[in-house]
């Protein structure tokens, strides 16, 4: 391995190579499909072809008679109790438990594509043929895909216990908003809407399941192996210890695999075929329709400002389209509602959020967890307020942003312990030449115009105090002085394994090549950790990793004292793979390790393990600046320059950090100008649920991406770090929207800014 660092050099803050790079680029990394055993049975799911109703009859006789079909199961055959699916920590308190509204299969169809039966066959072709032989008769109900209409109820309701189809609602009140509005010089109102989008990870959700010694084993592409284990137990009504989940390398997730998708059904199917291995690998079209999506959310915003442009009052009402099942439920809308309180100083704030069932694909976690939606609304609105009072948008934000430390007024433990937003704005404005271009592009005519826009964001690191944060780590000293690191936290492509290895190397003052991390998680042996989500891993799991490494270091030094009785051991330190007594090398770590395993008098294998509940939080901030060229007649946006500047605390690995920002910005740009899952109004059926018709950003669409950072050592992070996984995807869409506003003078209130939407807006504004 080529070293990119000097012997004994500190590891934190260095751009060391990814520990999984070689395995991945050479194709040696084993993903779920690479591990499927020979002669594995294949399962396929029968999906409903109506958007709302019940199955009146289902005839599986022809399918069962097909040669090669091993088993056909319908909703009549599965456990009749409901279970929850989101990748949230479980709670012993009933009020904090997730909504259980899902069955393995259902005869009550709630969206187009709902799961009503499954076939297990000897191969994929036979399973597909068998699906076509199943005869289903439906009784159809009216379909409603719009949350504002659905929240007034339907007959019958989508779920019997929610008569008005409102899954949940929440609100808060700070100060007196009505009084603040009365005192305002100007009041601005706006309604904004974000689309349903899909994660589009390269590897579709896939698992295979089998039985071993009476237990169910599920190998799956997931972000949350320990949670999958628990949910399978709940879904099947069996002890959780009867389930083992193994997570190999994973081909992306972005939150979709932070939900328990088809693993419970697959676990059930193997029990129906005598424990034989069963693979359940869904198609791209099924992934679009039958897994999870990012919620479409509608926002009604209002604000009052004084004559100097200072915010006096803010009011928000949001309506989140949950789709047919609860999944992560109201957590997304509630998280977005929290953002309305942060960053901008305002004495009077009101927020109210509704999460509403509809007959659409299910909304779940997606990179940013509600913040990309609310950021599009808030930051578009802030530009609209600035435009209304004839103030530069950047000046308006600087005037209203909180400087330095601040707390969430409603949840006091949530706080920005370091706040680099003003430094971020300065860097972004300098890169995009904000002042010059705002003037240069102010009075444009013609069909092609340019503009610059910006948006900012804040993002809470992890889920404490709203939910549990717990992480585990285990370290063992090997015979040669290297260390073995095992975690329950999951590497899903973001570089977590590399950063965790750096943390151990830093704390033990050893080389990266001496840290061997286990990438595969196995719930039978991996320490408990809730998984990869909420930009929590380097912050939460990192806290456990550091603590575990410190314990092992102390054990090594304590053992060294037993081996060095003739040396003054008060000054022993561990450095560069040696035990040092003052300024002299006393014993190599390799020699100590060998002694610990094989000494006839002092044998004691050195290990450390922690399970740590992390009760802390911090807020990451940042901004995006974009310059665009708009062809008005073609309805086309060309992104000329774009930059994200992040305050994510201390960068653990600058190269990995830049990669994270580039990937997130690509997602954010797609969210801004092209991505949208389009549904049929009458049935709720996805019309573009494939990678041909669903318009992702390609290499040809992507401009040069610039990433920059403001590094403030955050006291809460284990190494001064805070969130960076999700924030890069948040601010790009509103920054592009605001650049279009500057270029054309036309405000758009819904993303993505597709050619159809742009041309319609320009026509209404009289530009075409």
Q: What is the mean pLDDT of residues 155-184?
A: 97
Backbone φ and ψ of 368, nearest 5°: 115, -20
Taking every pair of Cα atoms in the chain, the longest distance, rounded to a whole number of angstroms, is 90
pLDDT at 95 (0 to 100): 86
Task: Examine the pLDDT at 6 and tell me if it is beyond 70.
Answer: no
SS3 569: helix
Interval 311-332: pLDDT, tens: 999 999 999 999 999 999 999 9
- Lowest mean per-residue pLDDT among 227-231, 434-438, 535-539, 561-565: 561-565
Phi, psi dihedrals of residue 74, rounded to the nearest 5°: -125, 180
Segment 533-553 mean pLDDT:
97
Read off the DSSP letter of residue 615. Answer: -
In sequence order, the β-bridge partners of residue 278 are 41, 209
CA distance 293 to 119: 25
| 7 pLDDT higher than 60 | no
> Strands, DSSP E only, in 632-752?
636-647, 705-709
pLDDT confidence of residue 143: 98
Beta pairing partners, 86: 259
Q: At what angle do helices 654-673 and 371-388 cross, to 10 degrees?
A: 70
Average model confidence (pLDDT) across the chain: 96
- In this prediction, residue 149 carries a pLDDT of 98
Kindly list the distances between the CA atom of residue 575 and the CA atoms of 8, 196, 586, 680, 722, in Å, as whole numbers in the listed order: 7, 52, 11, 64, 27
Could you tell me which residues are beta bridge partners of residue 357?
323
How many angstroms separate the Cα of 119 from the Cα of each of 10, 125, 237, 287, 307?
55, 11, 22, 18, 67
Provide the percentage of residues in the chain whose pLDDT is more than 70: 99
The model's pLDDT over 61-94, given as tens digits with 9 standing for 90+, comes to 999 999 999 999 999 999 999 999 999 999 999 9
Q: Is 83 helix (H, G, I), strand (E, B) or coil?
A: strand
* DSSP conformational letter for 679: B
Query: Among 219, 266, 202, which Cα is nearest to 45's?
Result: 266
Give all strands of the β-sheet with 53-59 in edge-to-edge order. Answer: 108-109, 53-59, 135-140
Give me the mean pLDDT over the 554-560 stretch. Answer: 96
Measured in whole angstroms, how far is the alpha carbon of residue 338 from the centre of its chain? Answer: 17
Distance of CA 73 to the CA centre of its chain: 33
How many residues comprise the chain? 768
Residue 225 burial (10 A CB sphere; 0-12, 13-18, 19+): buried
More confident residue, 560 or 565: 560
What pLDDT score was predicted for residue 738? 98
Please answer whether residues 101 and 82 qualify as being in contact, where contact means their C-beta atoms are separated by less than 8 angstroms: yes
Average pLDDT in the 140-161 region?
Answer: 97
Residue 535, pLDDT > 60, answer yes
In three-state secondary structure terms, 752 is: coil
Of all residues in the chain, the percent with pLDDT exceeding 90 is: 95
Q: Which residues contact 457 (CB under 8 A, 6 or more apart)?
A: 339, 371, 375, 379, 621, 622, 623, 727, 730, 731
Domains defined for the chain, CATH in brackets:
39-141+205-281 (3.90.1170.50), 296-464+616-764 (3.30.365.10), 470-613 (3.30.365.10)
Average pLDDT over residues 590-602: 96
Assess whether pLDDT exceeds 60 at residue 764.
yes
Has residue 4 got a pLDDT over 50?
A: no
Beta-bridge mates of residue 208: 219, 279
Q: Is the distance from CB of 396 to CB of 309 less than 8 angstroms? A: yes
Instruction: Supply 286's token pair.
Output: 């099924």
**pLDDT on residue 9:** 56
- The answer on pLDDT for 628 being more than 80 is yes
Q: Kindly report the number of other CB atoms within 10 A of residue 554's CB atom.
A: 12
436-456 pLDDT tens trace: 999 999 989 999 999 999 999
What pLDDT shows up at residue 411?
85
Spatial CB neighbours of 70, under 8 Å, sequence gap ≥ 6: 41, 120, 121, 122, 273, 276
User: Rounded to whole angstroms, how far apart are CA atoms 381 and 397?
Assistant: 12
How far is Cα 363 from Cα 367, in angstroms, rounded to an integer?
Answer: 12
Confidence of residue 18 (pLDDT cuts 50, 70, 90): very high
Residue 45 vs residues 8, 114, 120, 132, 266: alpha-carbon distances, Å: 55, 10, 9, 11, 10
Q: How many other C-beta atoms are found inside a 10 Å radius of the C-beta of residue 442?
A: 9
CA–CA separation, 660 and 225 (whole Å): 23
Report, in this order, helix, strand and coil percent for the chain, each rounded to 5.
30, 25, 45
In tens, the pLDDT along 390-418 reads 999 999 999 999 999 999 988 888 999 99
What tens digit of pLDDT does each residue of 277-306 get? Answer: 999 999 999 999 999 999 999 999 999 999
User: Which residues, other chains included, contact 582 with Cβ-Cβ below 8 Å and sequence gap of 6+?
Assistant: 568, 571
Note the Cα 763 to chain centre separation in Å.
37
Report the pLDDT value the prediction gives residue 402, as an integer from 0 to 100. Answer: 97
> What pLDDT, on a 0 to 100 scale, did the predictor assign at position 569?
63
Please state the rounded mean pLDDT for residues 754-762. 98
């Amino acid at each position: 391995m080529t070293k990119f660092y000097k012997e004994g050099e500190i590891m934190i803050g260095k751009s060391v190579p990814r520990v999984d790079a070689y395995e991945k680029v050479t194709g040696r990394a084993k993903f779920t499909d690479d591990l499927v055993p020979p002669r594995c049975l294949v399962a396929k799911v029968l999906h409903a072809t109506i958007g709302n109703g019940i199955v009146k009859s289902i005839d599986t006789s022809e399918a069962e008679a097909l040669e090669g079909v091993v088993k056909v199961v319908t909703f009549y055959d599965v456990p009749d109790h409901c279970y929850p699916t989101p990748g949230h920590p479980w709670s012993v308190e009933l009020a904090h438990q997730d909504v259980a509204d899902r069955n393995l299969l259902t005869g009550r169809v709630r969206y187009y594509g709902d799961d009503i039966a499954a076939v297990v066959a000897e191969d994929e072709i036979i399973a597909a043929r068998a699906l076509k032989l199943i005869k289903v008769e439906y009784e159809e109900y009216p379909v409603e895909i719009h949350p504002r209409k659905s929240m007034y109820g339907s007959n019958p309701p989508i779920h019997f216990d929610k008569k008005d189809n409102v899954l949940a609602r929440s609100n808060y009140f700070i100060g007196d908003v009505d009084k603040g509005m009365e005192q305002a010089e100007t009041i601005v109102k706006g309604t904004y809407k974000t689309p349903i989008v899909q994660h589009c990870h390269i590897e579709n959700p896939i698992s295979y399941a089998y039985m071993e010694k009476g237990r169910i084993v599920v190998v799956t592409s997931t972000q949350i192996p320990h949670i999958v284990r628990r949910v399978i137990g709940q879904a099947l009504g069996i002890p959780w210890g009867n389930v083992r989940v193994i997570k190999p390398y994973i081909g992306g997730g972005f939150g979709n695999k932070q939900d328990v998708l088809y693993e419970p059904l697959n676990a059930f199917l193997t029990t129906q075929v005598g424990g034989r291995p069963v693979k359940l690998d869904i198609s791209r079209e099924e992934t679009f329709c039958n897994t999870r999506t990012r919620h479409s959310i509608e926002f009604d915003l209002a604000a009052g400002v004084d004559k100097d442009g200072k915010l006096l009052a803010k009011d928000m009402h949001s309506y989140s389209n949950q789709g047919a099942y609860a999944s992560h439920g109201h957590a997304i809308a509630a998280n977005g509602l929290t953002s309305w309180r942060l960053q901008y100083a305002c004495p009077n704030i009101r927020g109210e959020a509704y999460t509403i069932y509809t007959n659409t694909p299910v909304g779940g976690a997606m990179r940013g967890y509600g913040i990309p939606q609310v950021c599009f609304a808030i930051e578009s609105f802030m530009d609209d307020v600035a435009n209304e009072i004839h103030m530069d948008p950047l000046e308006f934000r600087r005037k209203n942003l909180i400087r330095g430390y601040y707390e969430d007024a409603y949840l006091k433990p949530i706080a920005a312990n370091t706040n680099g937003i003003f430094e971020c704005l300065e860097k972004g404005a300098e890169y995009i030449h904000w002042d010059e271009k705002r003037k240069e592009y102010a009075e444009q005519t013609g069909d092609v115009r340019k503009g610059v826009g910006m948006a900012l964001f804040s993002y809470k690191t992890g889920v404490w105090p709203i939910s549990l944060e717990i992480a585990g780590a285990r370290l063992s000293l090997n015979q040669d002085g290297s260390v073995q690191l095992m975690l329950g936290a999951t590497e899903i492509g973001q570089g977590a394994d590399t950063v965790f290895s750096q943390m151990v190397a830093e704390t033990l003052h050893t080389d990266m090549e001496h840290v061997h991390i286990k990438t595969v998680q196995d719930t039978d042996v991996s320490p408990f950790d809730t998984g990869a989500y909420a930009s929590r891993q380097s912050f939460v799991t990192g806290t456990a990793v550091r603590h575990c490494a410190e314990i092992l270091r102390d054990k090594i030094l304590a053992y060294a004292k037993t081996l060095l009785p003739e040396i003054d051991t008060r000054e022993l330190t561990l450095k560069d793979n040696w035990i040092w007594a003052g300024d002299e090398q006393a014993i190599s770590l390799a020699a100590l390790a060998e002694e610990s395993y094989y000494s006839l008098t002092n044998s004691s294998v050195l290990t450390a393990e922690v399970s740590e509940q992390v009760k802390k939080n911090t807020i990451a901030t940042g901004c995006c600046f974009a310059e665009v060229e708009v062809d008005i007649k073609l309805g086309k946006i060309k992104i000329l320059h774009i930059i994200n500047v992040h305050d994510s605390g201390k960068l653990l690995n600058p190269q990995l950090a830049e990669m994270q920002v580039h990937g997130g910005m690509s997602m954010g740009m797609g969210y801004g100008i092209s991505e949208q899952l389009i549904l049929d109004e009458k049935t709720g059926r996805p019309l573009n649920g494939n990678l041909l018709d669903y318009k992702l950003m390609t290499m040809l669409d992507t401009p040069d991406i610039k990433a920059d950072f403001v590094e403030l050592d955050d006291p809460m992070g284990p190494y001064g770090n805070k969130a960076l996984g999700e924030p890069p995807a948040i601010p790009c869409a509103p920054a592009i929207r605001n650049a279009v506003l500057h270029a054309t003078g036309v405000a758009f209130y819904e993303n993505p800014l597709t050619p159809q939407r742009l041309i319609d807006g320009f026509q209404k504004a009289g530009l075409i």
